[in-house]
Structure formats: structure tokens, C-alpha cells
Amino acid sequence: MFLDWLQHSTSGLLALCAAGIAVLLVMIIRFRIEPFIALLVSGLLIALAAGLPVEDIVGTAQKSSDSLLEGGFASILGHITAIIGLGTILGSMLEASGGAQLLTRTLLAAFGENRAPLAMGLSGLIFGIPVFFDIGIFVLAPLVYVVARQGKRSILLYCLPLVAGLSMTHAFLPPHPGPVVAAGLLGVDLGWIILMGLACGLPAFAVAGLLYPVWIGKRIVLPVPADMLATADELAARREGQRDPSLGVVALIIGLPMVLILGATFGSITLPEGSGPLAVLTFLGNPTVALTIAVLLSFWLLGTRRGMTGRDLSELTAGALRPLGMLLLVVGAGGFFGKVLAETGVGDALAGSLQGIGLPVLVSAYVISSGLRIAQGSATVAIVTTGGIVAPLVATAGLSQPQLALIAVAIAAGSIIASHVNDGGFWIISRYFGIPVSDMLKTWTVLETLLSLTAFAIAATLSPLLP
């Protein structure tokens, strides 16, 4: 009787979903189990409790490719693996060549000392497009130390705009894992993700990364620790005499993939189907093709033309790709988790419940993602879990690509809210900029919440206006 209720009633399926997520959170928070394993175990338990046949879950000895387990991994990893890998290599080339430092120094010179916080924010925003959040901090932190020393003001005025820019691009723009994963789970074109990510992310950055640091930086004054200044001076001496790439080359490498991807998106809207120009734009604007072109250009313009050998490029590429293993495993397990939820009928049950109480999918996506983020800290886990829950809701809703992109933005916005002590990024920022935990909660946690709420508010405002 209980199993029949659990497997066939709306309330039972919702209870099963809630229990699965609770198991997931307990494993991650209480027992410190890797999210990859926790997602895998939770998905298997939900599938078994829902009464799915074992051969559907794991396949048979003769055939397993059609199983939920392999199909769930393949459905998402086939979409994102090349994109994330190529984006990581591109960011490593820019970092190794000194392109990030060049960009920041150019912006600082252009804006002057009084507007140095704005220059640091723009540096994080631009350099954050091709590099991971923590790498951006590692590369640009020494410049923050130097600028804060020269400005003789709180380091918060300079580091908060930088990390806000890095956080905004990491949350809302490809080729970062979050937006790419959300796009894959919801079936939305990356060009629309870029457009909606910029539309919602840039105003959020202005609020959280420019206005808020000016306000809080006057109220919490923190000096640059002496050991960090010594590190900055040491790095500057080490780079002395090295030849920087040209600013035009750096801009080309960063901007080319986005231009090509957006070209394909606009081409699909404006050009007749089946035309030659549309075929060219579609090919060049495929995210994997666009990033491959940019990576090959970076190998030439930032590598071989500046004295790097084939061996150097090979070692740099291998080093860049090495940390991606666990990330891809988490994403793949999240794909399996989401496929189980869809197959068990949890998605349909949730859709009916949300329609019954009148809660829009976009709001639901944000609330679920926010709750998961606050509970367990990982933005990636919040995105892949929420995407798996929401994907069945949008599959039959007949939503347009822009509307789907806004739901992806809402999921990404929820995944960054209220960063606190269970988030690795919280401790990275605290360590690199010498900010005590109490002040981190007053500054970084508030900044991430402002970034999240503002982006979501804009997405919610735009959603009813789009076709």
C-alpha cells in the first residue's frame, strides 16, 4: 500500500523527491561525501524506491547504453565536456601569457587612481569570461594589493569589485560550467544564454560590484597585509623584463568565441533556413567550434609567436585540464540524477503542484537553487540538481529559447546566493585578501546575495515581456 502511494500518487512522488534531496544533502553536509558519489547514490535510491526496473536503471550485461545510468551521464557530458575543456585551456593561455595583468594595468591607467575600483571590477568582468573564478583571483590578487597600497584605502574597495566581476561571469556566461550545464539540461542555445546572462548579470554587477563596495568600503577599513604586499612585489620582480602580448590580441582571444556564438544565434533569427550564410554561421558559431578556433589562435598569438614550444603548450594544456575530472563527474552524476527524476514522474508531479499554487517555473527554479546552495555550498551541485528537477517542467511547456535562457539565469542566480562558510570561494577570498570571517559575512556574503537577487529580479521582469 505504501509503495503504491509512493510510486503512483502526486504526493508520494513529491515526498520521494524531497527524501532524495534530503539524503543528498545529509551525505554532503553531514558525512562530507563527495558530491559526485552523493548524487549517484541519491539517484539510484530514488530510482529503486520509485519501482523502476533494474534493467532500465543500469541496463543488462549485454546492453547498458540505453540505461538511465549511462544515458544520464552521456546526455549532459556529451554537451558540455568539450566546451568546458576548451574554455579552461583558453583561460590558461591568457593567464600564462600575462594577458590578464596587461588588461588590468591598461584599465587602471585609463580610469586613473580615483576610479581604480571600477577598473578592478571591469578587469574581473572581462578576464572572468575565459577563466575560472579561483584562477582569476590567483592571477589578479597581486594587482589588488599594489593598487590598494597606492590608494591608501580599504582593500575592500578594490577586491570586492574584482571578485564581483569574476563571480558574475562565472555564474551567468559560457564557457563556465554553471551556465553551460544549465543550457544543456534545459535545451537552450548558448547564444541566448550569453544574451540573457549579460542582460541580467551586468546590472547585477553594477549594484553588487560597484555601488555596494563603495558603500561598505567606507565603513569597514582593512589594510593590505604586509605578507601579501611582499608577495606582490616578488611576482612583479619575477615578471620584469617579460614581454606582454598586445591588448588587441588579448581582446581578440577573449571576445572571438562570444562573437561567433552570437553570430549563429542572430543568424538563425534573421537568415532564411537552409541558406549558405546561415550554414557558415551555424558551423562557426557552434560553441565547440568557436572555442577551438579561439584556442588555436591563442596557441599561435600567445604561444609560438612569443617563444613557446610545442612541449610548452602541451604541458600548459595538460595542467589546465587536470583539475576538471571531479567537476565533470559531478555534472555527469547530476545528469543521471535529473534523468531519474524525469523517468519516475517526479517532474510531472512537481509541475502539477506548482501550477496548482500558481508559482511560475522561473520562481520555483530560483527558490530550489537558492535552497540547495545555502544548504550545501556548491554552486555546481545546486545547478545540476535544480536543472534535473526543472527540466521536466519546461520540456512540455512550449517556452521560447529566450524564456528558457531566463530560467537558466534564475537557476544560476540561485546558485550563488548567500555564500558562507560551506563555500570554498568564501575561504579563497578570505585568504587572498586577508579578510576576517566576521567581515566576510558582512561583505562577500552580502555582495553575492545582492548579485543573486538583482539578477533574478531582472530575469523575472523580462520573462513576461519576451515571446
Q: Is the dihedral of CA 453, 196, 193, 465 positive or negative?
A: positive
pLDDT of residue 352: 66
Angle between the N-to-C axes of helices 379-395 and 35-49, in degrees from 0 to 180, rounded to the nearest 10: 30
Give me the DSSP letters along 209-260: IIIHHHHHHTTS--PPPHHHHHHHHHHHHHHTTPPPPPHHHHHHHHHHHHHH
C-alpha cell at 315: 604541458
Mean pLDDT is lowest, of 95-99, 123-127, 136-140, 237-241, for: 237-241
| pLDDT per residue as tens digits for the range 410-450 | 999 999 999 998 898 999 999 889 899 999 999 999 999 99
pLDDT of residue 315: 92
Cα(454)–Cα(434) distance, integer angstroms:
27
| pLDDT per residue as tens digits for the range 380-405 | 889 998 998 888 888 777 889 999 99
Rg for the chain, CA atoms, rounded: 23
The overall average pLDDT reported for the chain is 88
| pLDDT per residue as tens digits for the range 18-77 | 888 889 889 988 888 999 899 999 999 988 988 888 888 887 755 555 788 888 888 888
Give me the DSSP letters along 4-33: HHHHHSHHHHHHHHHHHHHHHHIIIIIS--
Q: Evaluate whether 375 touches 22 at the Cβ level (below 8 Å).
A: no
Q: Where along the chain do its domains lie? A: 12-52+75-465
153-179 as b/e: b if 16+ CB within 10 A: bbbbbbbbbbbbbbbbbbbbbbbbbbb
Cα(425)–Cα(163) distance, integer angstroms:
10
